[in-house]
Every structure is written in structure tokens, then in C-alpha cells.
Amino acid sequence: MPGETSLTTLIRSLSPQLNHGDYVFCCLPDGQVPAGIEIIGSFLEREGLTVILEKSQAQQAGLGWDYVAAWITLNVHSALQAVGLTAAFATALGNAGISCNVIAGYYHDHLFVGRDDAARAMDVLRQLAASGE
């Protein structure tokens, strides 16, 4: 089933969900993932392998981080080629003073916002969906 491309439909159907837990971004310069670690997401950069994982997993592996995030999933099935969705929620969150790191999955967008901003971010996203703009 193909993802949605209509910006109006995407915004009205955001259906944000706050996932339980605290999440961190860590860099593994050698690209080697410690045994037993469950990675939420990753991206290979010139400086090393960036991994996103639960804070407790990073602590267990002795990994360092400098940002603790909440993970919000937008449950709308957005097409990878959809235009404007990231701009819409990033603008809404930015106007509220909330930093957002976005990971696009095949079916959904995943937002990582500062742990202390999670409740406000959920409110902003719900308001955006209700306005349909």
C-alpha cells in the first residue's frame, strides 16, 4: 500500500504517539556495535556510526551522549516522496522553541525532541493536526 502524499491529509492524520523511554544518539567511531545492544536507528557518517538507542542501553555499553530525547512517532503512513510534511511539523515545533531531529522510516516519520519538551511537542503536533494546515 503506497504512502500518502497529500499534505493536507498528512497533517490532519499525524496521530503522534509518544514512545516510552529516554533515547540518546551515540557515535561509534569504529562502527562496531557492542554485543547485546538494540539499536532504534543508525546512520553511517565519515566520523563513525551514529546509533540511536535507549539511554539504559547506552549506559550498559558504557557509551557517551550529550542529548537525551523523547521519541515521537507520527502514525500517518507518509510516502517518502511526500512534499512539505517535515517543513510543516518542523516549523510548528520551531515556532514553539522545540528542537527536533527527524528520522524517516519507510512507513512513518520519527521525531526525537528534548526529553523535557516531550509533552509540549505532543501538544504542538496535536494542534497542527487539528488545524489541518
List pLDDT tens digits, range 3-41.
889 889 999 999 999 999 999 999 999 999 999 999 999
CATH class of 7-131: alpha beta
The full set of domain ranges for the chain reads 7-131
Q: Which of 98, 90, 89 is nearest to 116 (CA)?
A: 98
Q: Are 52 and 110 in contact (CB under 8 A)?
A: no
Cβ-based neighbours of 95, under 8 Å, separated by 6 or more: none
State the cell numbers at 35.
554485543
Q: Is residue 1 pLDDT above 80, yes or no?
A: no
